[in-house]
């Protein structure tokens, strides 16, 4: 295919990134270390970040809307986090023993998260979900887990069911997962009763991929009532929404308390960190008992060299203190509201069908279709053909490159923006200007 004008400008603006890609493509699959960082014709490479900005290897300042895949609500290189990590680093990174730091971190989780009677720390959201699934099966003595179409819960064998990238996963493993369309509570109830072997229902509380395909909050309440009535564990995966949608995450915002929640991203303050938290009698299945047979066959084992390591514990505890004690969430939400309104005004001015939607500081740019949004600012319904229009990969990938050309780095091909507390009014003004130029470039290319 011929190179577009947008692509050629991107190539011209990023010669140093291209040079690094020529090396990295021979080191890593697709030249990247995370599927979501793959970008054609090549990804950008960055040197450092501060607040709401990062700088690429060409020296360009970029307004960052990836925000560490959602981890950096406090902003990059927050001075309190930096100081906490430096102090912890000097004391030791891995002593193979328990520390005061993990106690402080754990207390903050129990203080902020409604269901968190007990906690177990891991090093990632994927690991936290793996542990939650095992705990649910051990607690109920049942094997099946219900999840919903395209909801993302990390890359483990079980969580990947119903998604893509299924290579190497035994069919027997996938058969233990039941993948259902969301928003049909009658179907969920029918499935639980027909199977008789459902341990848990697992869901992203805003909808698949942080809310890319949203669900109404009412569905969470329906699931809570159903799971209580049927003796099924309700697992809300708050890896993204935890400490973001409110100080206590989606659970507090939507007033739904699950049996188990999984956490990561903001939890670690920019360092690797995950946790499964929930009712004591569920999490306590990790505890040893004075029963050799139980410990061998029923206890849920959980080692992990870097569980609650001092560096992550120090960064995570400081981050949660800042979430608890300052107006981090309010600042991020306010900046997002300003950006949402300004971008929707821009779409109207440019006579481009679509809307920017989303809960709090998680925004989505939906283009090509006019539709009505619910009072929560995030819920709506589209037909399959309308979703195809919104998710037009060719158009959206060109928008992503065009935005990078204007100094904006979004998530998901220019269709997702994750806002932090440091996004300023000037950042918002510059972002709207960048979108106007990017959308004009894509329109000129004939893709809009």
In Å, how far are 7, 28, 29, 272 from 438, measured between CA atoms?
A: 12, 30, 29, 34
Residue 378 corresponds to which tokens in the numbers above?
């995030």
* pLDDT tens readout for residues 239-294: 999 999 999 999 999 999 999 999 999 999 999 999 999 999 999 999 999 999 99
The pLDDT of residue 238: 98
CA–CA separation, 308 and 148 (whole Å): 30
Q: How confident is the model at residue 212 (pLDDT cuts 50, 70, 90)?
A: very high
pLDDT at 2: 84
Note whether 273 and 306 are within 8 A (CB). no
Angle at the Cα of 14 (from 13 to 18), degrees rounded to 5?
Answer: 145
pTM attached to this predicted model:
0.95
Q: Taking a C-beta distance cutoff of 8 angstroms, is the pair 145, 212 a contact?
A: no
Residue 309 has pLDDT above 90, yes or no: yes
Per residue in 25-80, pLDDT tens? 999 999 999 998 999 999 999 999 999 999 999 999 999 999 999 999 999 999 99
Distinct helix (H) and strand (E) counts, the chain: 17, 16
Peptide bond into 41 cis (omega under 30): yes
Q: Judge residue 446's burial from the number of C-beta atoms within 10 Å of its C-beta, 0-12 exposed, 13-18 middle, 19 or more buried.
A: exposed
Q: Looking at residue 414, what is its pLDDT?
A: 82
pLDDT at position 245 is 98
Q: How confident is the model at residue 333 (pLDDT cuts 50, 70, 90)?
A: very high
Residue 412 scores a pLDDT above 90: no
Q: For the chain, what is the mean pLDDT? A: 97
- DSSP assignment of 114-172, as one string? TT-SEEEEESSHHHHHHHHHHHHHHHHT--EEEEETT----SSTTTTTTSS--TT--HH
Structural domains of the chain, ranges and CATH numbers in brackets: 5-75+328-444 (3.90.1150.10), 79-325 (3.40.640.10)
Q: Nearest to residue 263, comparing CAs of 92, 113, 429, 79?
A: 113
Cβ distance 73 to 244 under 8 Å? yes
pLDDT of residue 112: 98
pLDDT exceeds 90 at position 1: no
Q: What is the pLDDT of residues 155-166, one digit of tens each?
A: 999 999 999 999
């Amino acid at each position: 295919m011929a190179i577009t004008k947008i692509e050629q400008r991107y190539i011209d603006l990023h010669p140093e990134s291209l040079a690094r890609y020529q090396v990295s493509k021979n080191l890593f699959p697709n030249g990247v270390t995370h599927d979501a960082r793959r970008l054609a014709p090549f990804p950008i490479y960055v040197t450092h970040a501060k607040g709401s900005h990062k700088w690429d290897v060409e020296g360009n300042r970029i307004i960052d809307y990836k925000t560490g895949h959602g981890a950096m609500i406090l902003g990059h290189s927050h001075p309190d986090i930096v100081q906490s990590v430096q102090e912890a680093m000097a004391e030791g990174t891995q002593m193979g023993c328990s520390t005061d730091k993990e106690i402080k971190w754990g207390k903050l989780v129990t203080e902020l998260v409604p269901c968190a009677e007990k906690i177990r720390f891991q090093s990632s959201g994927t690991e936290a979900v793996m542990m939650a699934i095992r705990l649910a099966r051990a607690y109920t003595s049942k094997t099946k887990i219900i999840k919903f179409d395209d909801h993302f819960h990390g890359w483990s064998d079980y969580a990947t069911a119903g998604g893509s990238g299924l290579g190497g996963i035994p069919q027997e493993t996938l058969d233990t997962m039941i993948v259902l369309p969301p928003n049909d509570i009658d179907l969920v109830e029918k499935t639980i009763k027909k199977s008789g072997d459902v341990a848990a229902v697992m869901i992203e509380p805003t909808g698949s991929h942080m809310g890319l395909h949203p669900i109404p909050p009412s569905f969470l309440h329906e699931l809570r009532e159903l799971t209580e009535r049927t003796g099924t564990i309700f697992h809300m995966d708050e890896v993204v929404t935890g400490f973001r949608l409110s100080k206590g995450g989606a659970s507090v915002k939507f007033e739904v308390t699950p049996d188990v929640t999984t956490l990561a991203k903001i939890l670690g303050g920019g360092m690797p960190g995950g946790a499964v938290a929930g009712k004591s009698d569920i999490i306590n299945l990790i505890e040893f008992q004075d029963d050799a047979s139980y410990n061998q066959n029923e206890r849920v084992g959980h080692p992990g060299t870097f569980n609650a390591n001092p560096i992550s514990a120090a960064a995570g505890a400081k981050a949660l203190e800042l979430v608890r004690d300052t107006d981090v969430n309010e600042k991020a939400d306010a900046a997002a509201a300003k950006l949402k309104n300004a971008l929707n005004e821009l779409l109207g001015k440019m006579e481009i069908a679509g809307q920017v939607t989303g809960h709090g500081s998680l925004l989505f740019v939906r283009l090509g279709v006019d539709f009505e949004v619910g009072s929560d600012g995030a819920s709506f319904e589209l037909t399959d053909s309308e979703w195809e229009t919104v998710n037009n990969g060719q158009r959206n990938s060109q928008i992503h490159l065009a935005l990078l050309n204007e100094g904006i780095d979004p998530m998901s091909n220019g269709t997702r923006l994750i806002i932090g507390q440091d996004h300023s009014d000037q950042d918002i003004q510059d972002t709207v200007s960048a979108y106007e130029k990017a959308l004009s470039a894509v329109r000129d290319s004939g893709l809009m």
